[in-house]
Amino acid sequence: MKAVIDLLPLALYLGAYIVADLYVATAALIAAIALQVVYTRIKFGKVGKLLWVNFAAAAILGGLALTWSDPRYLVARATAIYWIIGATLVLVYWISGRNLLRVALQAHFEAPDAVWKRHLYAYAAFFAVLGAGNIVLGYTVSEAMWVAFDTIGALVLIGLFMAVQFMRMRRHDRDRPTA
């Protein structure tokens, strides 16, 4: 159910784009993420930082896109989110020594520090490249192609990247029998 709630704003954005245009889709995205924040607060008692970042980026940059009818702010929205995720992973590690991937996944994987560090930098690099790729596509392909990438393509790439990382970490799976 949480996955449906998490993906609903993107689905509404894509649906609104298909039946209307980019600006109706942007308004739908902002409204859907605002409702997602409210629902999450009511259901779970708190709202995660990533959802707040997503809401802020959608509201601010989406709002600017709507105000000035300029889709470049929408390209910046997706890129900002990807770059904030990557930068947060690295900065938290550099400042505090906490590896946020390890914090999230250590219940499932038991790996040496060097492995966790490699995965942290791999994720950070992936999100940096995804953000850069988003900018390149946002300025070089048609609006429809960029929207398809923004909603579907980026999710597929993230899913594939995570699957590869999962396979790489699988040898450190806590539940895996040892020989």
Q: Is the pLDDT of residue 108 over 70?
A: yes
Could you tell me the pLDDT band of residue 4, with boundaries at 50, 70 and 90?
Answer: confident
For residues 2 and 89, the model is more confident at 89
Considering the entire predicted model, what is its pTM? 0.84
What distance lies between CA 12 and its chain's CA centroid?
A: 16
Read off the pLDDT of each residue in 30-35 and give the average, rounded to a whole number: 96
What are the residue ranges spanned by the domains of the chain? Answer: 1-69, 71-179
Give the mean pLDDT of 132-142: 96
**pLDDT tens track for 70-99:** 989 999 999 999 999 999 999 999 999 999
Question: For residue 6, is pLDDT > 70?
Answer: yes
**pLDDT (average), residues 56-69:** 94
pLDDT score at 179? 53
Residue of 145, 154, 105, 103 whose CA lies nearest to 127? 154
50-69 mean pLDDT: 93
What's the whole-number mean pLDDT along residues 137-145? 95
CA distance 142 to 124: 28
Is pLDDT of 177 > 60?
no
